[in-house]
Amino acid sequence: MEDYKRVELLVKVAKLYYEHGYSQDMVAKALSLSRPYISKLLSEAKEAGIVRIEVIDPMNTGSLLEKKIMEAFQLDRVIAVPVEPGQSALANVGREAARYLNGIVKSGDIIGVSWGETVYHCSQAMQKRTDLEDITVVQLCGGVSNLSRNIYATEVTRNISMALGGTSYSLPLPAVVDDGTLKKIMLQDHTISTVNELGEKANIALFTMGAFGLRSALVRAGYLTESRMKELESQGAVGDVCSHVIDAGGQICDPSLDARTIATPLENIRAKEHRIGVAAGLSKVDCICGALKAGLLTALVTTEETAGWVLERLNLS
């Protein structure tokens, strides 16, 4: 009962302030509450998803950083998030990615996701929705193991599906297996093939662009030895997209490795209607640039600092 009364109060305060144009002082007087308490209630209403604030930009304005990248690669949207000292870059990027996804998702959508800390932050920031039907969230690439740090392979699908009132499907397989024959056998399993087919049918893809080198999750998980990593670097590897190791042009770096990689094919990802890339940091710049060059993105969510580095690397600044 207390929860119901609390929600009722939040709705009442929000309606007076946002729909009826009351000032906070007027709301406080009408409800016999203090103005600071009204301010707190309005903030709580936003956090609870009772109030959603959307800024409509009819002139399609944006920062110069965002415009340059959008125009150069014909993207639907670029969001370069400012990060103040002491703030978490990944949390800020994840929150903005969640807002963007929330703005394009519709009933019947299949959302394919990768794993990773930035995508996880996005999943945590998703607003709860009750206006959508038949939403499916599916893992696009096998989850890695033996990491000292959690990369949230299953949590991402669960968090997003719970927020959107949908159904989640995880891919309980390693990111890379020992040989292509083993991969084919695994994908023939009825349950696995169902998840794999959903990944290929997804019309929205949300993924990060991974760093390469010793910091790569594929290296830390033991799928690539340090010597193999250096070999791939000599072949031009700059990072990975959904576990597919790519070069500076966004192409598959080593077909033999990709034949052992359990993930929705890169060409299938490239064909999806919405392809949202989320990443931040200097170590991700080369992979972001490769993904942009290969047309893997329709939207990019990053930090202002990272966007600036991307422009410099592409000689667009």
**Residue range 131-151: mean pLDDT, rounded:** 81
Is 105 a residue whose pLDDT tops 80? yes
Query: Which pLDDT does position 1 carry in this prediction?
Result: 38
Instruction: pLDDT band for 291, please (50, 70, 90 cuts).
Output: very high
Is 56 a residue whose pLDDT tops 70? no
**Residue range 35-58: mean pLDDT, rounded:** 84
Query: Which pLDDT does position 152 carry in this prediction?
Result: 73
The token pair at 287 is 């992979």
Q: Which residues, listed in sequence order, are joined to residue 239 by a DSSP beta bridge?
A: 246
pTM tops 0.85? no
Contacts of 191 (CB under 8 A, 6+ apart): none
Instruction: pLDDT band for 158, please (50, 70, 90 cuts).
Output: very high
Give all domains of the chain, ordered by start, each with its CATH number. 2-47 (1.10.10.60), 64-313 (3.40.50.1360)
Q: Which of 294, 278, 129 is nearest to 210 (CA)?
A: 278
Query: Which pLDDT does position 195 carry in this prediction?
Result: 94
Torsion of CA 67, 68, 70, 71, to 10 degrees: 110
The token pair at 251 is 């192409």
CA distances from residue 9 to 18, 100, 253, 274, 276 in whole angstroms, order as listed: 14, 29, 57, 38, 37
Query: Which pLDDT does position 150 carry in this prediction?
Result: 60
List the single range of 85-94, 199-208, 249-258 with lowest mean pLDDT.
85-94
